[in-house]
A and B are shown apart, each in its own frame.
Chain A
Amino acid sequence: MKDTPGKPAPVTGATLEEKVKNARAQLDAHVREVVRWHFSPETGTPFWLEKAKTFNFNPLTDVNGWDDVKKFPIFEDEWLRGGPVRKWVPKGMADRAVYVFETGGTTGLPKSRIVIDDFKIDYEMMSDTLPDQYFPKGSNWLMLGPSGPRRLRLAIEHLAQYRGGICFAIDLDPRYVVKCLRERKVAEAQAYKDHCIAQALTVLAGGHDIKCMFTTPKLLAALDEALRNGKLEDTYRSIGKPVPPGGLRSIKSTGITGIFSGGTEFTPDFTREAVEEMLDNGEVYMTPTYGNTLMGLACSKPVGPHDGYKISYYAPQPRAVIEVVNPDNFDEVVPYGGTGRVLLSTFTKEFFVPRFPERDEGEREKPFEKYPWDGVSGVRPFAKLAGGTVVGVY
């Protein structure tokens, strides 16, 4: 499949220092372009054109690079609740087909984000980081994750198609799971998880030659548990199919070779457990990612025992930027290794989000060759907010 237009050029440079410098220059130029797009009367986004009337600066002339993004007020995700959703569609893209993706929504209005091509670009960039050995081109995928108005549902399907495969999906409503857990209906949540896993087993038993999978840590563990308990073998028997010699009691035995996974539940301990105990000591490859509907997705540095299974994420700069900041002063970036709240900015022609405080915290990571800009490790729910967060299935 052809690339979707809009992928940024790779950062060049002979040394890390040079790459860091070039990445910064690329970011500055990108920020200028995107801000002009969203605030120009011809192409701009109705929401931002209206908001600009309250600014004490002119985004068209006063924003010349990344440093000037601080001039924007902190983005409030409440702005995303309720309509009309068209206020987020840039005039320059008014004739394009628009998707709306939602996040949250267990109680009250969900937050909505419009998307045209961003999810395709993000996942094509992510695809370039996947090793073909474990994610063979042309192989089919299983999307064992949320369905409904979620970006992931379409994004994973696009990823599979971009790599020449076909994606199978299950029905999974994460809002229902969160509702069960909030109401302490543990057995009901478990029954729903079992229902989701049963759907996945049916797909795996269907002979579709699935080699790649997206899933969340909880669902990966649940699938592993079901396989170990012989549930896929039971599914084979129930459809009159012989169980292959050697059985079907591990993820490796199903033929899956690569897993793309995401969620803040990705702790070093879970990753180690997955690699050592679920994925045959790494024979099945797994790559964690950190993402959300607002940002896109951040790829991780290779994870393994060499680094204590530490997971460091890097945003798809210049389209998005992650900063780790002092939770009491978002203008202050913490020192490398320091702990702070994740502050996210998104700069695409479809969507402009300056300085959005995520519900997560982590440690600031240094740039490295592959991603010559700041990253974040140890991502977890922001301690001051964690009490109110119910983690469902992802």
Chain B
Amino acid sequence: MIQIPALRFGKVYTSMDKATLVHHATSEPVAEVSQVTGSMIARDLGQMERAHKLLASIPVRDILAMYKKAADYFLNATLPCGDAELTFDQYVRNLSATTGSAMVFCDRNARKVQYVLANIEEVIAGLTRGLPVEALDAGYTTSTGRMQAFYPTTDVFGAVLPSNSPGVHSLWVPTIAFKIPLLLKPGREEPWTPYRVLQAFIKAGVPQNVLGFLPTDHAGSSDILRLCGRSMAFGDDRSMAPYKNDHRVEIHGTGYSKMIFGEDQADQFEKYLDLLVESIAANGGRACVNASAVWTPRNGDALALALAKKLAGVKPRAWDDPAAEISAFAKPEVAEAINNMVEDGLKTPGARDVTQEVRGTPRLVKEGRIAYLLPTIIRCDSPDHPLANKEFLFPYASVIEYPQADVLKRIGYTLAATALTDDAGFIAECMACANIERLNIGPLPTNRLTWDQPHEGNLFTHLYKQRALQHAPRAAAGV
């Protein structure tokens, strides 16, 4: 069993009480993860001013070079993982073992993290809107022909992370390039990716005292969000509610991502079926950018049926099967609870599970100590139905028929929306829609991300604020 310590900004810390991670399918212990308390976090954060100064003193070009090396190490090196050393493949195997996410998804998402490491310059250029990177050294630049000055909003960036998909780690990876020390609170079942990225950074030369890996409990997570000048947190609407009005916390919650048909494409829905299936079900349908609703002005029944036929063939497969299409629930009671929520929703008239009608078997599948939820398409008669605007940790989408003229007023918050239309007027309306965060125009799946654009906030503008800066002209030396 692997022993994973906490990394307290240069100090390796092994606690007495540890979280034991077990293999989701066999229940065999895989790792023990040391835990820190909120007061330890508070104490460690007292060192961040010094750590920040150290990181700020390293030329950004040197840091970017470290990213390039770290990208290589992340993918190709055997890196320490507590008292073990893991290759990339071993890391992916452990990741899948404790999260229940199929290996094929873990591998694919881990490579997204590697992509951001390898292409960091492009990513930060996108997030800073083309600011010359040297501005991060000087705090300002005039190279664009006008003064642009920035100051850091915090000495440390805290990230309270989830366990559901390693792809989310791409979001905090640029922090060090922005010269801000980094505190990671891993998800309980997913210490693997944060730890591996930090080890890749350390091997590439990033000072250890700007990197924290602090597994902790719920109260400790609250302390991170309270004490870090800037942070990001992942959680459902209820757990994130206390931070809704806290500008220091960037919330990554439920996505409610959607595919939206325009009038002009609604009759051609069949040509978009593969795109819809990918948006709904890619990577097991667990991401906030997976579509959870399809809105169309016409053909709702036919579209729901066609989608259901496409998805009804999906079957549970072993976690290490390269053909896996859905992930297991390591805690079967969670799958059961989600299934009950869907069933409860179906009791309200005006919705039916079309996939279950096509498949003829129940959504919930139990195998040994694990459980699966099979893809589910719910045809809702109205956007007011309780199942119309729901998001779950499996491939799930509602299909709603609604007039194009009003659809954007009804969709509500939408993290990622794909507008399937060539109608310039409708596109303009989508562009102006304040409910949509990430907008894809044309046949792009909701889950296809570009890392150089903001995702539920822009990391650069979270970590830096623009300021006015003037230098007085220097008087000519007298003779």
Contact = CB atoms under 8 A, between A and B. Distances in A.
Given A185-B242, A187-B242, A268-B17, A225 B35 contact: no
Given A272-B16, A308-B16, A225 B39 contact: yes
Nearest to A186: B242
Interface string B25-46: 0000000000101111011001
B16 A269 contact: yes
A309 B16 contact: yes
Query: For chain A, what secondary structure do more than half of its interface residues adopt (helix, strand, loop), or is it mixed?
Result: helix
Of the four ranges (under 10, 10 to 19, 20 to 34, 35 or more), the interface on chain A belongs to 20 to 34
24 contacts: A184-B241, A184-B242, A185-B242, A186-B222, A186-B226, A186-B242, A187-B242, A190-B226, A221-B38, A221-B39, A221-B42, A224-B39, A224-B43, A228-B42, A228-B43, A228-B46, A229-B46, A269-B16, A269-B35, A269-B37, A273-B39, A273-B40, A277-B43, A278-B39
A267 interface: yes
Interface string A209-231: 00000000000011011001100
A267 B42 contact: no
A268 B43 contact: no
Contacts of A277: 39-40, 43
Given A186-B242, A224-B43, 18 more contacts: A184-B241, A185-B242, A187-B242, A190-B226, A221-B37, A221-B38, A222-B39, A228-B43, A228-B46, A267-B17, A269-B15, A269-B16, A270-B37, A272-B16, A273-B37, A277-B39, A277-B40, A309-B16
Contacts of B37: 221, 269-270, 273
A269 B242 contact: no
A187 B223 CA distance: 10
A391 to B, nearest CB: 9
A268 B46 contact: no
Interface in A229-253: 229
Interface string A162-192: 0000000000000000000000111100100
Contacts of B42: 221, 225, 228
A309 B38 CA distance: 19
Interface string B406-429: 000000000000000000000000
Contacts of B43: 224-225, 228, 277
A270 B38 CA distance: 10
Nearest to A228: B46
Contacts of B38: 221
B218 to A, nearest CB: 10
A222 B242 CA distance: 21
Contacts of B16: 268-269, 272, 308-309
A380 to B, nearest CB: 10
B79 to A, nearest CB: 27
Nearest to B35: A269
Contacts of A222: 39
Nearest to A184: B242
Nearest to B39: A221
B46 A269 contact: no
Interface string A337-358: 0000000000000000000000
B362 to A, nearest CB: 29
Interface string A184-214: 1111001000000000000000000000000
A270 B37 CA distance: 8
A204 B46 CA distance: 22
Contacts of A185: 242
A273 B42 CA distance: 12
Interface string A292-323: 00000000000000001100000000000000
Closest 5 CB pairs of A and B: A221-B39, A225-B42, A186-B242, A268-B16, A269-B17
Interface in A19-65: none
